[in-house]
Structure 1
């Protein structure tokens, strides 16, 4: 009787152990996917971005002027009539809508405005975010819009550049990247203010993002420098604005994000290049809008 009781007890313990192990394994396999809440369009919804969350410029010829400070960044809200320069590579702006911009199947959903024109684009990488935690802040996960340069020679994901404050306002700004390369944001005679952002209180700072190829820039004729547009997927790329499909957003591994909609966008200067007397390649941002609300 004692032997039978002991055997039964061991079987019970073994069963409980197996149950705990199964639950543990099951938990490891289950991925909880939290869907972002949809903020509906109302009669008062604005087609254009309405909120500025961050302005993080890189050094540049328009930085520390009305075209390259927070005042200029705020001027891009509510319309596409403002203009702000993001500076050299990595400079970025983060803005948000007053509603969720939904992904319309088979259609473009957003238009991002810049001041690109024929033969002169200054392409910016576009990132989108859904307000997954519903707190109204851009503190969830960014997804990159997969443009035509994605994965091409010269395209680098997880790129970083550290800028160093120069000794004088008219001195060029030194940079070093995480690929072992160095260079300068070259100053010129047309813009004599400090190129290093006055909002940065440290002697160095680092910007992160995606580097786009500079192969579209033609400097063979120094008096007529051109920068051809990419086929699609970038801001400040084509005249009249660049239409973007939310369904092209991808994660850090290149997998489709499958977002139902987005609440925030980030635009980041994509190319690191000095263009002679024209100064650094710097993405300009003039606004963004929900295409479904534009007449």
Structure 2
């Protein structure tokens, strides 16, 4: 082969390799970031949450009882008839669906059940997560549902409370928040068990989330204490359940997040308050369901 022909073939090879690499690069760029996988609804899909991923109660009058333990938490799956207390502020439960709950434009998408009734609500903050990495675990980003208390004085994001094991099992549980405030989860005569979670090995633990204002609580008459509901957007806030629109999810800056659907929800006690003989304000969770699958 002549030297000139060899040079031409080598040059042609280099140009082809460059063109192939450029085309491959263009294809990757055009594809963009990978979208979160959607787990489709099938004939066997359950309308209700089916998996308990985490239960971390705050100290409270039902903690360490049959209404505030893991067994009670599991009882809220596949139904709206279970009942678990999340304890004082920050206590939470994380559950998941067996499919992706889709975000339907202009409609509410899922419902969270509690035991609120007229003149007495114990609102809990609702968080949602899409399984973006597709591993079936709630280890992606939580987004808070923006409820009506977002616009009220006393609403605080990035709030945290550290609870300390008390000197005795029946003693009130001390707490200190990240604003320098202190107080106790007050024990009462109706519940004599330990309020600090007995399963914890550490003498302190910290819970973090959003604090809701306690201004809806009225203790003017100590014999008839009321706790009015917020307008919308919280768990254990409305009798019969609270319907939630996925489109109301927001990021850590308060900006709207566009989610095609969600796979997991977290419900967390939102108010830090003692209500006299009624004990601490503690959100109750009885289940959650995909509205598109409810008959």
Matched, 1:62 2:38: no
SS of equivalent to 2:52: strand
| Match in the other structure for 2:206 | 206
How far, CA to CA, are the matches of 1:165 and 1:106 in structure 2? 46
Instruction: Name the residue aligned to 1:20.
Output: none
CA deviation profile, 1:257-276 (whole Å, cap 9, x unmatched): 10000000000000000000
Query: Is 150-159 or 239-248 further displaced after alignment?
Result: 150-159
Structure 2: 5+ residue stretches without partners = 1-31
User: Equivalents in 2 of 1:33, 1:212: separation in Å?
Assistant: 36
Alpha-carbon distance between aligned partners in 2 of 1:291 and 1:66, rounded to the nearest angstrom: 29
Q: Does 1:143 align with 2:143?
A: yes
CA distance in 2, matches of 1:52, 1:80: 14
Quote the Cα distance in structure 2 between the aligned partners of 1:95 and 1:157: 22
**Aligned mates of 1:166, 1:35 — CA distance in 2:** 48
Which residue pairs with 2:95 in the alignment? Answer: 95
* Count of residues paired in the alignment: 265
2:261 equivalent to 1:261: yes
Deviation at 1:34, TM superposition (A): 3.9
Where does the alignment leave 5 or more consecutive residues of structure 1 unmatched? Answer: 1-31
1:56-205 maps to which residues of 2 (within 5 A)?
Answer: 56-205=56-205
> How far does residue 33 in structure 1 lie from its aligned partner after superposition?
4.4
1:288 corresponds to 2:288: yes
SS of alignment partner, residue 277 of structure 2: helix
- Aligned match of 1:52: 52
Alpha-carbon displacement from aligned partner over 1:196-245 (angstroms, at most 9, x marks no partner): 01121100000000000000000000000000000000000010000000
Which 4+ residue blocks in structure 1 deviate beyond 4 angstroms? none
Residue equivalent to 2:233: 233
For residues 268-283 of structure 1, the aligned pairs below 5 Å read: 268-283=268-283
**Which deviations, in whole Å up to 9, do the C-alpha atoms of 1:44-95 show, x marking residues without a partner?**
0000000000000000000001100000000000001100000000000000
1:166-200 CA-partner distances (Å, limit 9, x unpaired): 01111000000001100000000000000001121
- 2:28 matched residue in structure 1: none
Deviations 1:19-61 (A, max 9, x none): xxxxxxxxxxxxx644210000001000000000000000000
CA–CA distance in structure 2, aligned partners of residues 180 and 35 of structure 1: 42
Q: Report the equivalent of 1:8.
A: none
Work out the CA distance in 2 between the residues paired with 1:33 and 1:203.
44
> 2: distance between equivalents of 1:183 and 1:66?
26
Q: 2:35 & 2:195 partners in 1: Cα distance? A: 42
Over aligned residue pairs, what C-alpha RMSD do you find? 1.0
SS, match of residue 205 in structure 2: strand
Secondary structure at the aligned position of 1:150 is classed as helix
Determine the C-alpha separation between the residues in 2 that align with 1:257 and 1:73. 29
